[in-house]
Structure 1
């Protein structure tokens, strides 16, 4: 099976490429300069050249804080760009999996977010991703939206890599402890995406497999919890470590507001697709081990 994925260097794209051979699929990354969602003309032609059985839209404007000063660009890429990919999927007659985010919610619910909960993004980034969801839904495509949260991996820029870098020069790191979420390994997410893609292609008429789903690591954590797990895993392997000083969101102001509750309820994914990501703690340990491996060899 051939899977075209938008983007080239992102965490999800790189994780899909790393998992492709073992999963028995061919992953074709399609990104800039050939495909630029900020200028989505020609999207169909570029994707058609990949001859995909399924399309994954993983390309996105992901600079959450910078989006507050570039809301039009974020909206163009994450909103109109996603819509253009969906229209291409319609023309090619293949299913589309649109990657979305916990940031479409306002964080005020007392429970992990369900797919049926009302969206109310707090940031320009969140609004742009919700616009992408709306564009995909309105496109007429054979669509599935997969929301995830707090993604980390050995690739790109992410929280786990930032903590390890800070620990190289600091004995203590202040980390927010009053935001809760579902840390998600991009590697685990890639396995889930590939499994979903296979099922969507094999069962084109099954409406229960389509719609909005949540996919995140099992369990919950604060950013401070996640940092402590990273440091413990690193210390166990002889890598850099630091103490965590727990702070409140108000003590770490950012241009974009973050949801205080980003936990995702993933039970619908388990019920309909039979898929469940593993507990986040073990996946963090695996990621840290991978990141430290080059320096330990």
Structure 2
């Protein structure tokens, strides 16, 4: 079975071909521009597999419409990327590939699902995945089903307390000092004038960053009590950061609940940068098998 994966990010698209074992056979990436230009490159990539392709899994930047009964199911909706507002993503794929089955979810849900089927969440019932990079997003799974209601979660915009040594006002255009506004990559850069990867491990900003991520883990623990919380994204590639987060989380939780061992509870992705692609392939496999 030949399966397609599309990680539709706000900065770049990553398209891949894989198989039912979730092995990545071919992958390409290109910048996210306008819908016409970007989707032409998507269609061109998959057209070479058109006679074999059985399903496509899509993890998209959002917000998106996830409700099958909605007239705008499969659309990117009120995104800040104005050219993509109210874009019929799923409909465009189905038109290009003769009604091919398409699994549709958020980019962070896809990464969460990848870790659930083949990473840190394998064999667990409840998995939460955060991406901390250009923005902050999150996905959650309970018994293999995405935690959703009227829409998908936007846990990346939870409110956090200011670190006592942090006078940064926040970088979120909607909420200013929410988690994304205080902890995403651009917030680090605006706060200190340099990108995170340019800073030393002992730079004081990492204590501030760890505080916000630990608060995120604290809130998630008390609301969802998941089996594991996975933190991915570019910011989390600072290997020292997770150690700081675990220490602060332990202080914040203060013995109130007994979590799993923190080196197994607060973790980075086993699949690293492949989590989203593997998740989209798994979702594509699921949608084909359940037809």
Using structure 2 for the length normalisation, give the TM-score.
0.36
Tell me which protein shows more strand as a share of its residues: 2
Using structure 1 for the length normalisation, give the TM-score.
0.35
Tell me which protein shows more helix as a share of its residues: 1
